[in-house]
Amino acid sequence: MRAAPALTLVMLATLMLVPVHDAPQQTFEQQALPKIAPAPEFSLTSQDGGQVTLADFRGRVVAVTFIYTLCTATCPVLTPMMSFVQDQLGPNFGRKIAFVSITVDPERDTPEVLKEYAQAFGANLAGWAFLTGTPDAIRDVTRRYGVFVSTKTANGDVEHTFLTSIVDPRGILRVQYVGVRFDPDEFRRDLLSLLQEP
Amino acid sequence: MLATLSSAAGVSLIGRPNAFAQQAPLETTTVRIAKIPGICLAPQYVADELLRAEGFTDIRYVATGSGIPAALSLAHGEIDFTANYAPSIIIPIDAGEPITIVGGEHIGCFELFAKEGIRGITDLKGKNVGVQALGSSQHTFLSTMAAYVGLNPVKDIHWVTSVSPKPMELFAEGKIDAFLGFPPDPQELRARNIDRVIVNSTIDRPWSQYFCCVLAAHRDYASKHPVATKRVLRAILKAADLCVTEPMRVAQRIVDGGFTARYDYALQALREISYAKWREYDPEDAIRFYSLRLREAGIIKSNPNKIIADGTDWRFWNELKRELKS
């Protein structure tokens, strides 16, 4: 995490090379997103110490992802990418679209640590919540979203799969992105597409 | 649809509602998966925790042979699910075995090593070529390659199989002309400074344009347990991503699990195999391509359309391709 600003710059420089297209594309992937199931509910603690539930985001599109602040391998790729997309979303971010990053390392990621992490990555906390909770609560929410989390390794790393879920304004899980190397432009288009639905 | 989904809420193994169980309850919480020597099937070896997250409580790894023997273990009901080299599954389907291919996994991972003077497949005519066994994935793959360039794989190639010393050792000692291997054999040969590869299916066309390994279920498992089949497929595809993002940990886990012996070869193979590209390829293209090659080689009689009609079901794949991006 402490190397986050430098990594962010590298990541952003890379992302700036990604062309942004708004033209409609009649590809398989550009069809309306599927309706998978009601998204798993949660009630966790935010970076400000307040309780946050998924239901709080009804009426907004929300992207739910899983991170931990001391992750040195791939989390430093995912969070800057989401920060980049946050900026691309303009005034829709916060008002119509929100992000939720849930830690998989609740023992170390206190609200204070999460707040520092959020600031390091330029997160706009008006639309982006960083959540922690009891180990049981975190274990429950990761399992219900289908995220694999293992016990910590000797050096403190937490092995976990990267899964970012997009939930529509009615609370329905619509698509999941696996890994951290997905196309930020496709991610942004998927978020915006749900705003167009009746 | 949503009313159905929400009313069908299930209970996960930890006793709480499971989001994916809300789609429909699992028809079975048991899945038996092949344990085959080799690294390239790593996703199914590290999918166990993801399968538990999907609601499976009884996950068994059953030792099988590789290639066609693994497919026959599937057909005979000894296992429910495995990834395998596509032709090794197509051949039993052609013979009427109850196997259903449900998706693709990865590209490549075969490498053909050859002595100086052998520059391409056609140069293998009359040469001694080592493979693990007749009917193995290596034998089937090289047969299709030979037929593709006009050779008769039965008459034109002298196949060398040997339990001890292994064909790889025979090639390393210069006793045979060529050797086709898959991980960890290519990694071991390179470590010994034997690196004259004339075909690498991960990068050389046309082989690199198609899934090498596809995911298959016993026909009854897929038809009677569609929810379970979809979740097994989803867990293995997520595990494929784990191979990309956490190759060191996956390498250690498959060594610890007894799936392969050498950590360094496992890590190298995981970094070379294209696990991340599963959404970019069409498994039906692979089945069509390999069915044609096998028919050219005289190994199967069915045309590609019959193989696809009898032995594939893409519903799960198509749904997951829309639900699970990468």
Residues contacting residue B316 through CB under 8 Å, at least 6 positions apart: B102, B103, B222, B226, B229, B230, B233
Instruction: Please report the pLDDT score of residue A151 as a whole number.
Output: 67
Vertex B20 angle, CA B4 and B211, to 5°: 115
A–B CB contacts, 8 A cutoff, strictly below? 102
pLDDT in tens, A38-48: 999 999 999 99
pLDDT in tens, B167-212: 888 998 889 999 988 888 888 888 888 878 898 988 888 988 999 8
Orientation angle between helical segments B137-148 and B283-296, nearest 10 degrees: 70
User: In this predicted model, which residue has the larger pLDDT, A60 or B244?
Assistant: A60
Which DSSP string corresponds to B77-134? TS-SEEEEEHHHHHHHHHTT--EEEEEEEEE---EEEE-TT--SGGGGTT-EEE-SST
Residues contacting residue B280 through CB under 8 Å, at least 6 positions apart: none
Question: Considering the entire predicted model, what is its pTM?
Answer: 0.77
pLDDT in tens, B249-267: 888 888 888 888 889 888 9
> Which of A159, A162, A179 is nearest residue B249 as measured by Cβ atoms?
A159
Range with the largest mean pLDDT of B3-7, B55-59, B215-219: B215-219
Mean pLDDT of chain B, nearest integer? 85
Q: What is the ipTM of this complex?
A: 0.70
pLDDT in tens, B268-321: 888 888 887 888 899 999 999 999 988 888 889 999 999 999 999 999 999 998
Instruction: Please report the pLDDT score of residue B299 as a whole number.
Output: 86
CA atoms within 13 A on the CB side of B81: 33
Query: What is the mean pLDDT of the segment spanning A50-62?
Result: 96
Q: Which residues of B touch A (CB under 8 A)?
A: 1-2, 5-6, 12, 14, 16-20, 22-23, 49-50, 53-54, 234, 237-238, 241-242, 244-246, 249, 276, 319, 321-326
